[in-house]
Chain A
Amino acid sequence: MERYYQPEIETAPYEQIKAWQDERLVKQVQNVWDNVPYYRKKMEEKGVTPADIKSTADLHKLPFLSKDDLRKAYPYGLMARPLSDCVRIQSTSGTTGKRVVAFYTQHDIDLWDECCARAIVAAGGTKDDVCQVSYGYGLFTGGPGLNGGSHKVGCLTIPTSSGNTERQIMFIMDLSATILCCTPSYAAYIGETMKEMGLTPDQIPLKAGIFGAEAWSEEMRQDIQNTLGIKAYDIYGLTELSGPGVSFECSEQTGMHINEDHFIAEIIDPKTGEVLPEGATGELVFTSITKEAFPLLRYRTRDICTLTRKPCSCGRTHVKMTKPQGRSDDMLIIRGVNVFPSQIETVLLNNGYPANYQIIVDRVNHTDTLDVQVEMTSEMFTDNLGEIEARQKKLVDALRSMLGLTAKVTLVAPKSIVRSEGKAVRVIDKRKI
């Protein structure tokens, strides 16, 4: 039988969800108007006042917020509460190196934890489970989010964070972990390592996995499920809105239920900004109606997906979104980390490299690889191998400090990177997702 963390909310009739959204939206718009001068100015420029927003039907009148707004308003410009009311920040990378910093009151953290708890229960979690959180802890929202959700459910939580795969496996086996939370690529890696160690699915105590923060295919899901002997569930979220748990998969595994009591979802045409009807594919836009410290109205996620209200066999009534099928900007998600080509370009230019480069992203053994190819120039070339290698290493270090992940730097022959007539082809994404 399907179980819910908050059945009265998760299975509420649509009219009830709509009523919550209407009421909370009106309040939130007033709150933002009163407390966030940055957004108030945007509303004034569009000629909208709180009086114009009487229900979700008026949502389309509000101006959008983008990652660029977050950069301009960095760090405090979009806060609706004084810092003294906040208890935490989380952060993710921004478009040009400036990070996105999101603020949370204790209330915000509680609601976020509840969203993650819903995901864990939907994956079959109860207080009798042992939940290993192998997402990174720290500024990244993965670890803290699922950790909080696991506590709410009452699971015994193992906060291993990411990395040190041998230790991960030791805890799974020795403490009989039943739920694993991490990125899908890390789950695949843990699975393969266990297989190499001779562990068969029936020897592995895990029964479910909650995997998100990066795109993964249905084939990858099957692989992970088979190697670990589990059911693998997708989870979606972004730091700007709280973190993982904005939406999550249920037993049907055909899309993720958006927590609509907290987030209003819209699908828009990324070019015109026009709101598209249910079932259309377009850019996902969110309005956070319960956030206190960092409420974003009509935030453009740049994720391309589809929404559906078709009744779900799990009994949940909240709208379902498909896995994001792409992006309407050039952001790459590599091993769960947001990467903008512009960040890589900044590092190259700052280190004296020419702007002739290409970024090759691939997935080898379920793990994303990032290869930055740079053309060798006469200025850079020397007969001394050591000097060239030292230069390469310096670039790898600079990229790591900007992106937070390790890239491979390959020196290629001059003029070997194809020049295009118009916009340069900077990114080749070979991943089949």
Chain B
Amino acid sequence: MSVKQISVFMENKPGTLKAMTDVLAQRGVDMRALSLAETKDFGIVRMIVDDLYEATTALKDAGFVHSLTTVLAVAIPDETGGLARVLGVLSDAEVNIEYMYAFLGGKTANQAYMIFRVQDDVAGAADALKAKGIHPLEQEEISAL
């Protein structure tokens, strides 16, 4: 009911992001979602990939410092109020969201996917969603998208 996000340290200098995407491409890793958080002099790439093992091995071999974080991935109908409904559930369960980002597509054209990084209790947040009929994706489901 949760997926692993890979976070990668990015030195702030031209070409760093490209070097990382090259490394992943060479191993045939497909990115499902990606977001970049940055400060004045460094950044963190956060991404969801189809093949966690290949991706982390490739990053390690290429010397990229990275870590894994458990996040929630939720399919949201691509319609008005879709995100609001999910946020309402999390809000009622008093789940604090640290950050989130979206991705569209996959094989189901009319759905968007949202990645949530929540504070503390990931399992609790997943249960709250399930109780309201919202299904957090598993790692395998992400790979299959």
Contacts and interface: CB of A to CB of B under 8 A. Distances in A.
Given A383-B67, A414-B65, A376 B37 contact: no
A252 interface: no
Interface of A: 376-378, 381-385, 388-389, 410-416
Contacts of B11: 376, 411-413, 416
Report which residue of B7, B41, B69 has the largest number of chain A beta carbons within 10 angstroms of its beta carbon: B41
Interface string B106-122: 00000000000100000
A378 B65 CA distance: 6
Given A383-B46, A411-B42, A376 B9 contact: yes
Interface of B is mostly: strand
A383 B44 contact: yes
B3 to A, nearest CB: 14
Contact of B39 (A378, A381, A389, A416): A389
A413 B16 contact: yes
Interface residues of B, number: 20
B65 A381 contact: yes
B41 A382 contact: no
B63 A382 contact: no
B67 A381 contact: yes
Contacts of B44: 383, 385
B67 A377 contact: no
A376 B64 CA distance: 10
Interface string B29-64: 000000001010110101000000000000000011
A373 to B, nearest CB: 10
B66 interface: yes
Closest 7 CB pairs of A and B: A383-B7, A413-B11, A383-B69, A381-B65, A376-B9, A412-B11, A376-B65
Contacts, number: 48
B67 A413 contact: no
Interface of A is mostly: loop
Given A376-B65, A378-B66, A411-B41, 4 more contacts: A383-B5, A385-B37, A388-B39, A414-B65
Nearest to A378: B65
A378 B63 contact: no
17 contacts: A376-B42, A377-B65, A378-B65, A381-B9, A381-B65, A381-B67, A382-B7, A383-B5, A383-B46, A385-B37, A385-B44, A411-B41, A413-B9, A413-B63, A413-B64, A414-B64, A416-B11
Contacts of B64: 413-414
A413 B45 CA distance: 13
Contacts of A414: 63-65
B4 to A, nearest CB: 11
A375 to B, nearest CB: 9
Contact of A382 (B16, B42, B67, B117): B67
B9 A410 contact: no
Contacts of A383: 5, 7, 44, 46, 67, 69, 117
Nearest to A415: B63
A381 B66 contact: yes
Interface in B62-83: 63-67, 69
A415 B63 CA distance: 8
A115 to B, nearest CB: 44
Nearest to A382: B67
A125 to B, nearest CB: 45
A391 to B, nearest CB: 12
Contacts of B42: 376, 388, 410-411
A387 B37 CA distance: 13
B39 A385 contact: yes
A384 B44 CA distance: 9
B66 to A, nearest CB: 7
Contacts of A385: 37, 39, 44
Nearest to A377: B65
